[in-house]
Amino acid sequence: MSLQHPPLHTVHVPLGERAYDIVIAPDAIDSAGEHLAEMFPGARFGIVTDENVAAAQLPRLLRSLDAKGLMHTEIVVPAGEASKSWDRLHTVAEAVLAARLERNDLLIALGGGVIGDLAGFAAAIARRGMDFVQVPTSLLAQVDSSVGGKTGINSPHGKNLLGAFHQPRLVLADLSALETLSPRHFAAGYAEVVKYGLIDDEDFFFWLEANFNEIAHGGPARAEAIARACAAKARVVTADERETGDRALLNLGHTFGHALEKVTGYSDRLLHGEGVAIGMALAHRFSARLGLAPSQDTGRIEAHLKNAGLPTTLADIPGDLAPTETLMDAIAQDKKVSRGKLTFILTRGIGKAFIERNVDPAAVSAFLEDMR
- Give the catalytic positions in this structure: 128, 150, 192, 233, 243, 247, 251, 254, 258, 272
Q: How far is the CB of 338 from a copy of itself (least distance, A)?
A: 6
Q: Which residues contact 235 (CB under 8 A, 6 or more apart)?
A: none
User: Does 73 engage in binding with a copy of itself (CB under 8 A)?
Assistant: no
Q: How many CA atoms lie within 13 A of 70 on its CB side?
A: 30
Query: Contacting a copy of itself (CB under 8 A), which of 1, 19, 67, 97?
Result: 97
For a copy of itself (CB under 8 A), the number of binding residues is: 38
Q: Which residue lies nearer to a copy of itself by CB, 149 or 197?
A: 149
Please indicate if the annotation marks 117 as binding a ligand.
Answer: yes
Stretch that binds a copy of itself, among 30-38, 251-259, 314-322, 332-340 (CB under 8 A): 332-340
Going from the C-alpha of 227 to that of each of 259, 324, 335, the distances in angstroms are 29, 38, 29
Q: Which residues contact 239 (CB under 8 A, 6 or more apart)?
A: 245, 246, 247
265 forms bridges with which residues in the sheet?
A: none
- Cα gap 260→331, rounded to integer Å: 9
User: Does 107 engage in binding with a copy of itself (CB under 8 A)?
Assistant: no
Going from the C-alpha of 356 to that of each of 126, 347, 353, the distances in angstroms are 37, 9, 10
Please indicate if the annotation marks 195 as binding a ligand.
Answer: no
Q: Which residue lies nearer to a copy of itself by CB, 85 or 313?
A: 85
The dihedrals phi and psi of 69, each to the nearest 5 degrees, come to 70, 25
Query: Contacting a copy of itself (CB under 8 A), which of 93, 221, 271, 280?
Result: 93
Give the Cβ contact number of residue 117 at 10 Å: 27
> Parallel, antiparallel, or unpaired: how do β-strands 353-359 and 337-338 relate?
unpaired
User: Does 124 engage in binding with a copy of itself (CB under 8 A)?
Assistant: yes
User: Does 126 engage in binding with a copy of itself (CB under 8 A)?
Assistant: yes
Q: Is 100 left (phi over 0), alpha (psi -120 to 50) or beta?
A: left
Q: How far is the CB of 155 from a copy of itself (least distance, A)?
A: 6
Site for a copy of itself in 154-183 (CB under 8 A): 155-158, 160-165
User: Does 325 engage in binding with a copy of itself (CB under 8 A)?
Assistant: no
- Cα gap 43→100, rounded to integer Å: 12
Q: Which residue lies nearer to a copy of itself by CB, 213 or 338?
A: 338
Q: Which residues contact 170 (CB under 8 A, 6 or more apart)?
A: 20, 21, 23, 35, 36, 39, 133, 134
Dihedral angle of Cα 160, 162, 167, 169, to the nearest 10 degrees: -100
**Continuous segment of H or E residues that includes residue 333:** helix 324-333
Q: How far is the CB of 31 from a copy of itself (least distance, A)?
A: 26
Query: Contacting a copy of itself (CB under 8 A), which of 296, 307, 338, 358?
Result: 338
Stretch that binds a copy of itself, among 52-60, 123-131, 177-185, 264-272 (CB under 8 A): 123-131
Q: Which residue lies nearer to a copy of itself by CB, 72 or 185?
A: 72
User: Does 94 engage in binding with a copy of itself (CB under 8 A)?
Assistant: yes
Residues that bind a copy of itself (CB under 8 A): 42, 86, 90, 93-94, 97-98, 100, 102-104, 121, 124-129, 150-152, 155-158, 160-165, 242-243, 333, 335, 337-339
List, as residue ranges, the binding site for Zn(2+): 192, 254, 272
